[in-house]
Amino acid sequence: MANADTPFGLRPVRHRNGAPYNGAFRVYSVAAGDSTAIMVGDPVTAAGTAQTIGGVVYQDVVRSATGDVFQGVCVGVLPDTQDSLKYRAASTLRLIAVADDPDLTFEIQEVSGGTPLAANDIGLNANIVVASGSTTTGQSGVELNNATEATTNTLDVKIQGFVNRVDNEIGEHAKWLVVFNRHRYANQVAGV
């Protein structure tokens, strides 16, 4: 059975110690001047600015690019109205929920094409591919790059395991478990 091609970005599933992810997040802002949409599952990084909204100060984040130091992953967008979008549209001030614990493990889909990752690639590092998500579902288009696996410690993520379930097999569009190699709240990471 071929794996379904359903990119969703990064989805928190558990902590490195095996404890399940409990839905915890921190609220961040995305400035109106940021012209990049942010979808649920997109990695984000600190922008180096902040917003004061209703007397509360929120740190700004932007969608991450390959090679960034990650702040976390967008797990939701706080609604402004009952008709609010499921994602943060470009050039709009919005508050987003970010799973920012540096010890989280994420599920991610492998990209199309290239040589699929193999079981022996567990333990290697790889980059992510940042792609536009779906404005219909609000889901990220970020995927795991199967052409970058190596021991290099500056790559975006460490492949921690394979998602063992009946709808997933080694090959194109396989789902993998990864952790961030460079996280804003980890030791010895430069400030913004």
Domain for residue 99, yes or no?
yes
Taking the model in full, what pTM does it have? 0.94
* pLDDT per position as a tens digit, 142-177: 999 999 999 999 999 999 999 999 999 999 999 999
| Structural domain includes residue 119 | yes
Q: Is residue 176 part of a domain?
A: yes
In a domain? residue 191: no
> What's the average model confidence in pLDDT over 58-71?
96
Map residue 14 onto helix, strand or coil: strand
User: How many domains does the structure of the chain reveal?
Assistant: 1
Q: Which of 137, 119, 122, 133 is nearest to 44 (CA)?
A: 133
Tens digit of each residue's pLDDT (9 = 90 or more) over 89-100: 999 999 999 999
Does 62 map to a domain? yes
Domain hosting 150: range is 11-180
